[in-house]
Amino acid sequence: MLKRLNLIVLIILIAALIPQSHPVLADNNLTQQLNQLLNEDPHLQGAIAGISIRSAETGEVIYDHLADVRLRPASNMKLLTAAAALSVLGEDYTFKTELLSDGAVKNKTLKGNLYLKGKGDPTLLKTDFDKLAAEIKKHGIKKITGNLIGDDSWYDDVRYSEDLPWSDEQAYYGAQISALTASPTKDYDSGSVMIEVKPGNSKGDKAEIKVTPDTDFIKVVNQTETVPEDGNKKVNIEREHAKNTVTITGTLPVKSKPEKEWIGVWDPTRYALDLFKQSLTEQGIQVSGKIKTGTTPTNAEIVHTHSSIKLSELLVPFMKLSNNGHAETLVKEMGKVEKGEGSWEKGLKVMEAELTKFGINPKTLVLRDGSGISHVNLVPATVLSQLLFSVQQQSWFPAFLHSLPISGASEKMEGGTLRNRMKGPEVRGKVIAKTGTISTISTISGYVNTKSGQTIIFSILLNNLLEDSKGKKIEDKLITIIANQ
């Protein structure tokens, strides 16, 4: 399956890059069909649809409908962020995490402090902290007389993007951004834990709760009940504001499937530090001092440096699964690398400057974050289609294209957010695109391989919908029309 899907990606890539002998799509036929759908679908009444369609070969605009109108892009914003990050940082870029000390080692004792300095890596797992602790053990250290200090000063201390809704605070997609953080699984939802709720063995039992990674940083209050097999399944998981107390309520029928939810933690720096302290303990290393946050002094010496996966690899969970934390981390990293400050303000300025290289005028945009979670972001559909045309000429384009979800591909890291969409024969495996959804908004932009063998670029931004799920069905119909040309 994986080889077949990779072949599909290659075919579309080749179609986009190699000159075609096909004529441009029959404008009149396409225009008529698209206009008919836009005019007749009742779910678009009172909504706004911005659409831009162009040839992947020439960039010629084939169809547009309010394509110059600035609309909220939702996670289609990540297309801009990914392109800018690849351009600024490069596809081989890695994030570093450093272990440093300011003391000497004598008799297997570090007489000083040990510093864990994060530099933005969103992929750190508990196993990585285990490896870091093992490095300390390799240096013959069994005891640390000083403090264990977590340093997140690589970025500023602003944890949430400017317009993040307060209701998203506990959600994994609204997790705090820190230069020192941790992820529960290889989806790399940094700054969050995964909570699994399983029914008890019999009626009346409390549900079984599992937190990944296993950590005391999260306090779980279990107020659940196991009910008969024909009972109602309803589970609610809430984290208390500004705390890491998670209350789980509700009922689970006997033998029912487990419920999983990812919850953003409060203070990801201390979360990562807690996991590292746990790893040190498991290696038999004792810390006599305090566990706290702070900055690394200039006289501290590096004990070990851990490198993340390459940016080209990180792009896959970032774009396939539409990871907000990755987007915001990349914005801050661009700011740090280019302007010496890991902040949204500096990072977004770098993004704006970089986008001009793709023929985009940043004065036509409103950029408030890198993920698209803000309802204040504004991007015209024509800008997104222009971006998708221009990036084809970049050396890193294969990595960019490979990161996009593929229609109807069932594997999570292939189909991503499109794995359950566009499964019909006209479009299955023929659409590679980035989706986007926030309240009242549904968007999708990417490439489609048509019946006539052309590759067509499209951007569809639907705003002011009463039901964003209806928007996805409209998008799929519009793309199917293009695919059938």
Question: What's the CATH number where 275 sits?
Answer: 3.50.80.20
pLDDT tens digit string along 449-480?
999 999 999 999 999 999 989 999 999 999 99
- Note whether 57 and 107 are same-domain residues: no
Number of domains in the chain: 3
- Note whether 372 and 259 are same-domain residues: no
- Note whether 110 and 135 are same-domain residues: yes
**CA angle (411 as vertex; 408, 417 as ends), nearest 5:** 60
Q: Which domain holds residue 239?
A: 192-264
Mean pLDDT of 118-125: 98
- Note whether 299 and 321 are same-domain residues: no
For position 338, what pLDDT does the model report?
98
- Note whether 339 and 464 are same-domain residues: yes
Residue 182 lies in a domain: no
Q: What percent of the chain has pLDDT over 90?
A: 94
- Note whether 112 and 131 are same-domain residues: yes
- Note whether 106 and 77 are same-domain residues: no
Q: Please determine, for residue 139, whether its predicted confidence score (pLDDT) is greater than 50.
A: yes
For position 28, what pLDDT does the model report?
79
- Note whether 322 and 440 are same-domain residues: yes
Q: What percent of the chain has pLDDT over 70?
A: 94
Residue 250 lies in a domain: yes
Mean pLDDT of 279-296: 98
Instruction: Give the mean pLDDT of the chain.
Output: 94
Q: DSSP per residue over 274-336, as a string?
A: HHHHHHHHHTT-EE-S-EEE----TT-EEEEEEE---HHHHHHHHHHTT-HHHHHHHHHHHHH
- Note whether 119 and 77 are same-domain residues: no
Residue 403 lies in a domain: yes
**What positions carry a catalytic annotation?**
75, 78, 322
pLDDT tens digit string along 250-275?
999 999 999 999 999 999 999 999 99
Residue 82 lies in a domain: yes
Residue closest to 144 by CA, chosen among 299, 297, 290, 282 = 290
Residue 231 lies in a domain: yes
Mean pLDDT of 338-367: 98
- Note whether 300 and 351 are same-domain residues: no
Identify the CATH number of the domain in which residue 74 sits: 3.40.710.10
CA distance 148 to 138: 18
Q: Which helix (H) or strand (E) holds 51?
A: strand 48-55
Residue 68 lies in a domain: yes
- Note whether 21 and 137 are same-domain residues: no
Residue 179 lies in a domain: no
The least confident of 165-169, 193-197, 369-373 is 165-169
Radius of gyration of the chain (CA): 24
Residue 173 lies in a domain: no
- Note whether 142 and 223 are same-domain residues: no
Tell me how crowded residue 38 is: count the other CB atoms within 10 A of its CB.
Answer: 16
pLDDT tens digit string along 32-70?
999 999 999 999 999 999 999 999 999 999 999 999 999
